[in-house]
Every structure is written in structure tokens, then in C-alpha cells.
Amino acid sequence: MFVGNYSHSVDEKGRFIMPSKFREQLDGRFMATKGMDGNCLYLYDMPEWESFVKRLRELPNSKPEIRALQRHFITEAEIVEIDKQGRCIISTNLRTFAGITSGIKLMGMDNKIELWSSESWTEFNKEDTADVAEIAGTLDLVL
């Protein structure tokens, strides 16, 4: 389970340090793909990625919206290796999608990590006006 959030910077080569608490769970590599909110990226350990793709594969491929969803997650996905210093490099395409140039936020989200540019994260939080208590109530979620 991935929890917590961390701020890091990206160097001129596009590398960043994966927090040690996350590295311990990633076994030296992970899958990176486009996320859904605010142009973030989703980072999955390999078993969770395989499970996610299996669920995508089980959706009815005859529907255009399903194919669009599959394309969104799969076409730009990539395996990312973590080097001995704990550094990772995400492709230019994914960094551009997420607006990552310098500062980043890594957010543990249970089965995945969200990777945000610091600017996008700040902007997303300004716009995120969800009433968590109301949402929990509509889901009958006991907290």
C-alpha cells in the first residue's frame, strides 16, 4: 500500500528521486502511464499494473469509449527502472502530458502513486472543492 506525499525536484535530464518508502515496494521498476485528474501520472508496481490491464482487457472492446479508455492508459505506458541511487526518468511524452519541468509531488494512493508537477498539484487543490463528508455520506462510507 502506497501512502504519504513527498516533494522532489527533477534535474536537467528529467530524473527524480523515488522516495525510499515507495522504492521498497516497487522492486526496482514500475509502470508509468497517464492519470485522470489534472494531468497527473499513475505509477504502478508490476503486479498491480498487470491486474489493472487485465481489468481493462475484460471491458467490452466493441464500445468506442472503452477503446478510448484503453488507449489513454496503455499507448503511452512505459516501464521505468530505478537506478542504484534511487533515481528514475520518465519519458518526455509523459513529462509533457503532466507538465513536469522542475518540482514534483509524489502521492501515495493505496494501489498506485500519483506523480504531479508541483504547479499542477497546487492548481488542482485550488479547484478541488469536493465535500469529502458529503461524498462519504452518499456512499454510506463509515469513517
pLDDT in tens, 30-65: 999 999 987 999 999 999 999 999 999 999 999 999
Residue 15, Cβ density class (10 Å: 0-12 exposed, 13-18 middle, ≥19 buried):
middle
pLDDT(131) > 80: no
Domains and CATH numbers, the chain: 5-138 (3.40.1550.20)
Cβ neighbours around 74 below 10 Å, total: 14
Work out the pLDDT band at 128, boundaries 50, 70, 90: low
Residues 6+ apart with CB under 8 A from 15: 87, 88, 89
Nearest to 40 by CA among 124, 126, 130, 129: 124
Residues 6+ apart with CB under 8 A from 7: 103, 104, 105, 106, 118
User: So what's the pLDDT on residue 143?
Assistant: 60
Residue 45 CA, distance from chain mean position: 11
User: So what's the pLDDT on residue 8?
Assistant: 96
d(CA 128, CA 122): 10
